Structures are given as structure tokens and as C-alpha cells.
Structure 1
Amino acid sequence: MQQLTSKKALIIFTRNPELGKVKTRLAKTVGDESALKIYKFLLNHTVEITKKINVDKFVFYSETINQNDIWDTDIFKKKLQTGKDLGDRMNNAFLELFKIGYEKVIIIGSDMFDLDKKDLDSAFAALYTKQFVIGPATDGGYYLLGMNELNPAIFQDKNWGTSSVLGKTLENLKDEKYLLLEERNDVDYYEDIKNVEAFQQFLPSYLDKNFL
């Protein structure tokens, strides 16, 4: 039986950092090696902003659970994603933690540079007055989703990775009390990072600010 140290839990969905398998849309411009370096940089950022949050933290890996990596097992509990698509995997992760006994659960990805600890603290605080909290992404998806009880409809009948996801999710919640957080940009394409100083160190020399 999982030992709860809090009634709140944070789910972090992550891809195993393998060459050619992460940030594939970004890699079309910057190449696989730079895309992997950027992804690892984003993973480290996520560790930094989540490790001191006063909730139980779970890292759900996409392929295999890595025991000796940046996710310290004294801080992060490690699990494996299960399900046929992203919606199914998220639903199963929420279901597992609610069954354990958590009362407020939030999910994020592991590659949001525009996210910080304060945002996560605010999201958990919102769940004391709202049933759901959503962080909308500029591409029409969302970078954060939190809830006090599982609503499976949120994870069904969505074209994951498209601009329709947020709108259809809000349709599912039209009769619920929810809070929309500030819109943020995630990192999927070269245009998302080309003018951000923190990423310049990872970009190939043949790229410049006027590329594309």
C-alpha cells in the first residue's frame, strides 16, 4: 500500500530521454542531438521547480522506469504510464492516485520552461475552491490539469496533440467549477525557443534568429 505523506499529489509525465525519440517536431529544425539536449535541459528545469513542492510527487515514464537518473527516489515516486493513447494514460494515472487516497491531483508534462514552483502552488490552492484547474497552452492544448475527482470524459474523444484539445476539454467541464490559469507557451517547435536566451547554447551554429 502506497504511503501518503500528503492528500495532494503531482503527476509528472515524462518521456525516456532517448536520441531521436524526444522533441521530434523541434528536431526537424535543430537536429536530434540538439533536441535531446534541450529536452534534458527541460527535464532538469522540471526537477528544480517540483522537488520542493509540499505534495507527494510521482514521475510516470513513457517506456521504462529509470532507477538512476535525475529523478531522486527520495523525492519522486516512479511509475510507468499505461494505456493506448495519451488520454488513456492520463486517465489511468489519475485513477491510480485517487484510488490510493489522494484528494487533489495535478498532472504536468516534464518539458515546460515557462512553468515555475509558484504556478504549481497556485494551481493546488485553486483546488480548494474549484473542482478543476487548467493551464491552457498557446497551441490549443494544456500544460497543466488538476482535479478533486476523476472525470473520465476529459480524456475521451480527443485528437491529442492538436489545437482542439483545450476547447473540447472545456466543453466537458461546462457544468463544473474550474479555474483557467495563465496561458503559457510550451516547447514543440524551433519558433518556440529561437528568441529565448536559455536555449541558445543548445542550438546548432547554422541556425540564427532569422532562420525560417
Structure 2
Amino acid sequence: MPILMLMAKAPWSGMAKTRLVPPYSRHQAAEVAEILLRLSVDLCAQHWAGELVIAGWPDTDHRIFSELEKQYQVTLVDQSKGDLGEKMQCLLATAFERNTAAAVMGTDVPHLPGSALVETYNALRCGGSVVGPTRDGGFCLLGLSHPVPDLFTGIHWGTSDVYAQMLLNARASGLTFDSTLVPVTDIDCATDLHRVASVWSPLRRALTAAGVGLGAGSEVSHRS
């Protein structure tokens, strides 16, 4: 059965969701990162029929990982060294070594429709490939049924060119995605956070419960 690998940065203060600072404090940004991780795992656990793996960075020592492991019976692994492309290639390779298809996904899109995960799973079971673009020019999910060694070569990570560059690599490698998901907003900055929270109540409730749903961050998003 296809594997879903959720790539998650440990929500340590000063390390996670740093683009939220300012207007949020480093501690608040870490709380937001933990909220996004929990919501993402819950989404995947509900809608992915196969194995769910959480790949932590720099490791899985943060208490949240063991909590999620117990709650959802997920597998924990550490991400490899290297840039984002190298990390994804390494994770996908571990699945291909087991002769199974796999998808990699970030934790910035807990509002991704569950139907998108079902679509991805079914496509991979049939030997297909799937990509989920984001509105800022990146992608939040990628599923493959076989290795594509040069898929992430030369990509300028963190820019608005990521998705376009990846597609060029795919075409050069003879890969055509069988399914392209509807683009979504990935949560990078305060504006993204409050835009998603304004239309997706699970995030709004979680932010309010954690005490980070109001204040300076909201004021910035309201002015934008």
C-alpha cells in the first residue's frame, strides 16, 4: 500500500515557523507550528488508507512526536541532511526500496481537502503520480510510483519558481503527472495564517484555544 510521509519541523521556539516572526513571538510561532502539525496528522490519519510516516527535522526528540506516535500509531523517522529536494528524494527512496509507491507532504496545508489525499492514494495504487501545487508557486504534496532521480535538481527552494522548475524537471525525465490537485494556500506568514483561519474553523478554534489567534498577528492580516 502507498505510504504517506509527512515532513515536519520540530516545533522548537526559534526554529519553527520563523516567517511568522514578527508579528508573532518565537514562542507563539512554535505554538502555531505545533497546531499545524497536529491538524495535519489528524487529516492524514482520517483520509489516508495506507501507512503514515512522520519525518521529523532535525530529529523526532520533541515530545509532540512521541505523543502523535502513540495517538495515531504512526511511524517516526528523522529527515536526512541536505536541502528540501535531497530530503524528499531520500524519503521516497526508502519507500521504493520496499517496492511501494509514496507521497511526501508538508505540514503547512492541514486544510487540504481529505478528498485530495484519497485521490492521491488511489492514483498511487494504480501506478500513477500526483502533485499538489500551492498558490505561491510551490507544491505541498507529491506522490510517485517509481524513482525520478533528477526531479528536484537545480530547484531554487523558497522561491515562487519551485513548482515551475519541478515541472520542467519532470518533463525532462519523461514524467507526466496523472493528477494535479486544486492549488491551495500554504501557511508561511501571518497573512497566510489568518487568511486560512478566517475560512477554516478547525485552525481558528485551535489558535484561539492556544491564545495565539488574536493580537498583533491578526491586526497585520486585517490591514493586508
SS at match of 2:92: helix
Shift of 1:130: 6.2
Q: C-alpha deviations, 1:97-129, integer Å up to 9, x for none?
A: 110221x21110123132143211111222355
SS at match of 1:59: strand
Matched ranges for 1:178-197 at <5 A: 178=177, 179-195=179-195, 196-197=197-198
- The residue aligned with 1:15 is 9
Q: Supply the RMSD in Å over aligned alpha carbons.
A: 2.0
| Number of residues of Structure 1 aligned to a counterpart in Structure 2 | 205
| Residue 158 of structure 2 is aligned to residue 161 of structure 1 | yes
Shift of 1:14: 0.6
Tell which deviates more after alignment, 127-136 or 152-161.
127-136
Matched ranges for 1:38-187 at <5 A: 38-52=32-46, 53-66=48-61, 68-72=66-70, 75-102=73-100, 104-128=101-125, 131-174=128-171, 175-178=174-177, 179-187=179-187
Tell which deviates more after alignment, 172-181 or 15-24.
172-181
When residues 45 and 73 of structure 1 are mapped into structure 2, their CA distance, relative to the original with a 3 A threshold, is closer
Shift of 1:74: 6.1
Write the distance in 2 (CA, Å) between the matches of 1:30 and 1:131. 41
Structure with the largest fraction of helix: 2
- Normalization by structure 1: what TM-score? 0.88
Write the distance in 2 (CA, Å) between the matches of 1:68 and 1:124. 25
Whether the 8 Å CA contact 1:11–1:58 is kept in 2: the answer is yes
- Normalization by structure 2: what TM-score? 0.83
User: Percent of counterpart pairs with the same letter?
Assistant: 22
List alignment gaps of at least 5 residues for structure 2. Answer: none
List alignment gaps of at least 5 residues for structure 1. Answer: 1-6
Structure 2 counterpart of 1:60, which letter? A
Tell which deviates more after alignment, 57-66 or 136-145.
57-66
SS at match of 1:140: coil
Whether the 8 Å CA contact 1:34–1:203 is kept in 2: the answer is no
Shift of 1:68: 2.5
